[in-house]
């Protein structure tokens, strides 16, 4: 390995082109003046001496995008010379700018005599393309996230209808002349619960569109306590849709570590989807199985089941499966919530005999309760 004293520093393309300044013709441009336009002949390249040059391209009928900003010591316009093609972008002086124009034949002669310069130009072009690609990848990701926000917002607006209806009804009852203190206290708890439920939906919007979003706040609690409370709250809503919620057996009194609000979102998504599949009413059955250090929960409906062609895409985003109001993010959210709790989720079905959605929750290990 060469020592710092003997190691040679490779000259970059800018340094090589700066050596051509005496041969280049001085050209000056006023602020905003176009140096060359996309489609012009590649008659030479430019070395920026003073000022700054903006490189832009038209990517739509009325949309011009800045690709790069070139400053003193850097060059532009070389690729049209190298590949013998028209200019692919437009160069505009951002401020009063002085350049040295190196004619096409002079640059080609230099490249023929100094292969190292050709390699340097290729490296510089590759670096610019990497930067440009990264910029557009970030823009595409941002555009996709905004699209997800818009589609997810549609879903949330739809999902807000039920909580808002309950809040409106509870408020009317609480303000009626015949309401008593005990009833108002119960109605207040109902309004509080629905408000938290709506807040959780909005948090899911943040979590879904930001992979590094807020992690669930897990805490240990008895599963029976949690589930009995949830069933008591969900049953009246389902009853209004002609659906009966049935617990096949009492919820097991086992300790689990959960985020109650987020886990409720999973339950409500599954229960709502099941009710949607039973337009004429029916029954949703909850079953519980303790297997090893896991608790398995099953949600079964009396609907038409899952069509085989939908099984592969069931938990993928935007797989709406024919629902007129949904954008297909409900089951995707369910999967994320289950995985955030350290569990998993899946579905089984016999067409015509309903669907069963199952998910697991890790039990609190007595040997390691923390």
Give pLDDT, residue 324: 47
Q: Is there a domain that residue 43 lies in?
A: yes
Co-location of 277 and 317 in the same domain: yes
pTM: 0.51
Mean pLDDT of 306-317: 76
Co-location of 358 and 322 in the same domain: yes
Tokens 């040679």 sit at which residue?
8
Mean pLDDT of 332-355: 88
Co-location of 285 and 306 in the same domain: yes
Say whether pLDDT at 368 is over 70: no
Mean pLDDT of 320-343: 74
Co-location of 195 and 321 in the same domain: no
Q: Is there a domain that residue 293 lies in?
A: yes
- Final residue before a domain boundary, out of 165, 182, 209: 209
Co-location of 73 and 201 in the same domain: no
Give pLDDT, residue 10: 42
Tokens 């490296």 sit at which residue?
123
Least confident span in 196-210, 263-277, 342-356: 196-210
Q: Is there a domain that residue 171 lies in?
A: yes
Give pLDDT, residue 207: 61
Q: Is there a domain that residue 128 lies in?
A: no
Co-location of 239 and 358 in the same domain: yes
Structural domains of the chain, count: 3
Cα gap 294→361, rounded to integer Å: 6
- Final residue before a domain boundary, out of 209, 232, 263: 209
Range of the domain at 281: 219-362
**Would you state the torsion angle of the CA atoms of residues 165, 168, 169, 174, taken in this order, to the nearest 10 degrees?**
160
Say whether pLDDT at 27 is over 90: yes
Q: Is there a domain that residue 8 lies in?
A: no
- Final residue before a domain boundary, out of 185, 209, 233: 209
Cα gap 245→232, rounded to integer Å: 10
Report helix, strand or coil for 133. Answer: helix
Q: Is there a domain that residue 284 lies in?
A: yes
Give pLDDT, residue 20: 60
Co-location of 241 and 353 in the same domain: yes
- Which range of 14-18, 265-269, 272-276, 285-289 scores highest in mean pLDDT? It is 285-289
Q: Given pLDDT bands bounded at 50, 70 and 90, which one contains residue 332?
A: confident
Say whether pLDDT at 306 is over 60: yes
Co-location of 190 and 270 in the same domain: no
Least confident span in 104-113, 208-217, 308-317: 208-217
What CATH number corresponds to the domain at position 318? 3.30.565.10
Q: Is there a domain that residue 368 lies in?
A: no
Q: Is there a domain that residue 157 lies in?
A: yes
Co-location of 186 and 151 in the same domain: yes
What CATH number corresponds to the domain at position 95? 2.60.120.10
Listed as own residue / partner, the contacts of 275-281 with beta carbons closer than 8 Å and 24 or more positions apart are 275/238, 275/241, 275/243, 275/301, 276/323, 277/301, 277/303, 277/304, 277/354, 277/355, 278/242, 278/243, 278/302, 278/303, 280/242, 281/241, 281/242, 281/243, 281/244
Closest listed residue to residue 332, CA positions, set 348, 319, 323, 343 = 319
Least confident span in 53-62, 93-102, 151-160, 322-331: 322-331
Co-location of 282 and 173 in the same domain: no
Buried b (16+ CB within 10 A) or exposed e, 36-55: beeeeebebbbbbbebbbbb
Handedness of CA 121, 122, 124, 125 (dihedral sign): positive
Co-location of 301 and 259 in the same domain: yes
- Which range of 148-162, 178-192, 194-208, 218-232 scores highest in mean pLDDT? It is 218-232
Give the whole-number percent of the chain exceeding pLDDT 90: 32
Co-location of 229 and 354 in the same domain: yes
């Amino acid at each position: 390995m060469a020592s710092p004293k003997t190691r040679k520093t490779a000259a970059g393309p800018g340094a090589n082109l700066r050596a051509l300044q005496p041969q280049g013709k001085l050209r000056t441009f006023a602020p905003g003046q176009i140096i060359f336009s996309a489609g012009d002949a590649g008659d030479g390249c430019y070395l920026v001496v003073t000022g700054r040059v903006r490189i832009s391209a038209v990517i739509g009928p009325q949309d011009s995008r800045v690709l790069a900003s070139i400053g003193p010591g850097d060059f532009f316009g070389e690729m049209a010379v190298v590949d013998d093609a028209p200019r692919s972008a437009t160069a505009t002086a951002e401020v009063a700018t002085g350049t040295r124009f190196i004619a096409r034949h002079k640059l080609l002669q230099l490249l023929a005599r100094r292969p190292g310069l050709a390699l340097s130009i290729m490296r510089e072009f590759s670096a610019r393309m990497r930067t440009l690609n990264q910029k557009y990848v970030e823009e595409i990701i941002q555009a996709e996230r905004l699209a997800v926000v818009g589609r997810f917002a549609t879903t949330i607006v739809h999902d807000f209808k039920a909580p808002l209806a309950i809040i409106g009804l509870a408020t009317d009852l609480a303000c009626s002349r015949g309401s008593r203190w005990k009833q108002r206290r119960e109605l207040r708890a109902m309004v509080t619960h629905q408000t938290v439920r709506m807040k959780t939906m909005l948090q899911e919007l943040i979590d879904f569109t930001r992979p590094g979003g807020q992690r669930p706040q897990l805490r240990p609690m008895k599963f029976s306590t949690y589930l009995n409370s949830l069933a008591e709250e969900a049953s009246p809503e389902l009853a209004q849709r002609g659906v009966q919620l049935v617990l096949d057996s009492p919820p097991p009194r086992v300790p689990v570590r959960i985020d109650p609000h987020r886990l409720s979102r999973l339950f409500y998504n599954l229960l709502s989807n099941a009710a949607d599949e039973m337009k004429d009413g029916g029954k949703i059955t909850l079953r519980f199985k303790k297997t090893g250090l896991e608790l398995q929960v099953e949600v079964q409906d009396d609907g038409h089941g899952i069509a085989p062609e939908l099984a592969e895409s069931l938990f993928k985003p935007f797989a709406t499966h024919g629902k007129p109001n949904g954008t297909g993010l409900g089951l995707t959210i369910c999967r994320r919530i289950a995985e955030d709790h350290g569990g998993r989720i899946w579905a089984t079905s016999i067409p015509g005999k309903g669907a069963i959605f199952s998910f697991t929750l890790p039990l609190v290990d007595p040997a390691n309760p923390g």
